[in-house]
Structure 1
């Protein structure tokens, strides 16, 4: 089942860059579908008819896949979703949300279990390595960084908090999400505790 996401509009970026911080304490309040839409567009949204996205990609190979564990978003059932950038839509993969399991897989970083969503950035390395050889691995990691920074900036603009989590058991995250791609980063997002 696909869910179309609301459109996004322009934002002022300079103020956001000054305010960006890593946040590990979240209120137990839901996000809105509009907020999720902006976050996903920032992460990997398509920006023109040629298929270019919000992040640079070596040779436009676009190796990333964006998954979302939804615990609490108004108007959206909980579960695991995959972002479909070309349609700016979500593909519902599982009706079970796994925030606690993801927190445990991330070396017991339990703030992940509190966040209403966790964005998981995964990669199919072959898309880039098949073009650039071994150097392609470096390009994929760079692309993950671009996407993560976009998520940070958009979360800040929406008065939300997030943090990049790289400490987790890869195989466990793959099992939880039931994915083939390599998970590279977890980004829990929620309303900040002041």
Structure 2
């Protein structure tokens, strides 16, 4: 093992095995009767890199998180790997390997901080206190979206949830497919809210893990800065 690999492994060991459990924020129920058609959202969806000064509201954050990975159907005696029920985005084998964090920079009704999205109960659990705009921006090589974003969704995956059933194919293909399904929902819902986003895959993994309080088992996949459009 070379020195660089040994250093990376030593850093990985500093991440906790369980997620920090800070204050809980109950989210408003999502709207199920929007006024923008699916066709209009598909036609007009764009990657938006600059946002207005108007902050997102907690109700809009709730809607975006629900669109990304919210529960749409529950039933008795569901297998545990479904983690609460069927969702807004499909998943290979129903394994649902993703976890979502909400980094709040300037959100009306939500204190700045990083929150894990508890999709089963549609609520936020704080993992890191305080505004982490600077830390996320630095992790993503100071890309311009962070200058005006009101918040950001950060995706991670626990690959084992999928690979335990599908092996290497799950890691190389299925988890990435799951991520794409969910992220496109965010794009479409953002348009319907007169908001925008631009998915980012260029970042330093360990810096991002630390910035949002990920566990050792999680691997970061995506950052989606969010803001109202100008």
Q: Fold-level match, TM-score > 0.5? A: yes
> For structure 2, which runs of at least 5 residues remain unmatched after alignment?
1-22, 76-84
Residue 17 of structure 1: CA displacement? 1.0
Residue 178 of structure 1: CA displacement? 2.1
Could you state the TM-score of these two structures normalised by the residue count of structure 2?
0.81
| Superposition RMSD in Å | 1.1
Residue 21 of structure 1: CA displacement? 0.5
Contact 1:29 1:72 (8 Å CA) reproduced: no
Residue 139 of structure 1: CA displacement? 0.5
The whole-number CA distance in structure 1 between the counterparts of 2:148 and 2:125 is 23
The whole-number CA distance in structure 2 between the counterparts of 1:148 and 1:10 is 21
Aligned to 1:5: 27
The whole-number CA distance in structure 1 between the counterparts of 2:205 and 2:148 is 21
Aligned to 1:56: 90
The whole-number CA distance in structure 1 between the counterparts of 2:116 and 2:107 is 15
Higher mean displacement: 152-161 or 9-18: 9-18
Of 69, 72, 76 in structure 2, the residue corresponding to residue 44 of structure 1 is 69
Q: CA offsets, 1:83-129, max 9 Å, x none?
A: 01111111112221211221121122032242010100110001001
Higher mean displacement: 4-13 or 86-95: 4-13
Aligned to 1:192: 229
Contact 2:49 2:144 (8 Å CA) reproduced: no
Aligned to 2:180: 145
The whole-number CA distance in structure 1 between the counterparts of 2:86 and 2:219 is 22
Q: Structure 1 residue runs of 4+, over 3 Å off?
A: none
Residue 10 of structure 1: CA displacement? 2.6
> For structure 1, which runs of at least 5 residues remain unmatched after alignment?
none
Contact 2:56 2:106 (8 Å CA) reproduced: yes
Count of matched residue pairs: 193
Of 106, 112, 115 in structure 1, the residue corresponding to residue 149 of structure 2 is 115
Could you state the TM-score of these two structures normalised by the residue count of structure 1?
0.96
